[in-house]
Structure 1
Amino acid sequence: MYQSTKELLDEIQKKREKMIDSAKMSGFTSDDTVRYSQELDKLIYEYQCSFQGDNRKTPEIRTNYKQMILIWPKQLVKV
């Protein structure tokens, strides 16, 4: 579906930004926010599957995951 890992990561970032914007405007449980979240989950799953069975790329996956977590705005994360 995607030409490269970079394109997939770019799409993940765009979808994450849409989800965050929707959550800010409409709330975490709005239909749009939930839809963006589900679409983001699918993209992340696709990204993870692209590395399945390739142990050499495991550190890259960890680094990218950590970067994704750090991008999430602090005000939206309430524990």
Structure 2
Amino acid sequence: MQYDSRLMLDEIQKKREKMIETANRKGFTNDDTIRYSQELDQLIYEYQCLFSNKREDEMRLNFRQMMFIIPQVQVLA
């Protein structure tokens, strides 16, 4: 099976957004938030494993680009 790094980064972004949305609605220690966080960790790990043979600069650029489009987490007091 062939993986596309851009598609995987999109999947990571969607999972991150879902985690942030859930954390804002239900709290950072909510079971759903924790589950999304763990799923996000797994996706990032898989991405790193699959694309570790690529040039490091390309990977850094992809992650850097992804970081700029992540919404800021709003901490509810």
Q: Normalized against structure 1, the TM-score is what?
A: 0.76
Q: Counterpart of 1:38 in structure 2: which amino acid?
A: Q
* Structure 1 residue ranges without an equivalent (≥5): none
Residues 13-70 of structure 1: CA distance to partner in whole angstroms, max 9, x if unpaired? 1101100100110111110110000000000001111122x2x520121122223444
Q: Counterpart of 1:65 in structure 2: which amino acid?
A: F
Contact kept, 8 Å, 1:2 with 1:8, in 2: the verdict is no
> Is residue 56 of structure 2 the alignment partner of residue 58 of structure 1?
yes
Flag the structure with higher helix content. Answer: 1
Kindly tell me the number of residue pairs found equivalent between the two proteins.
Answer: 75
Structural RMSD (CA): 2.2
CA–CA distance in structure 2, aligned partners of residues 12 and 71 of structure 1? 12
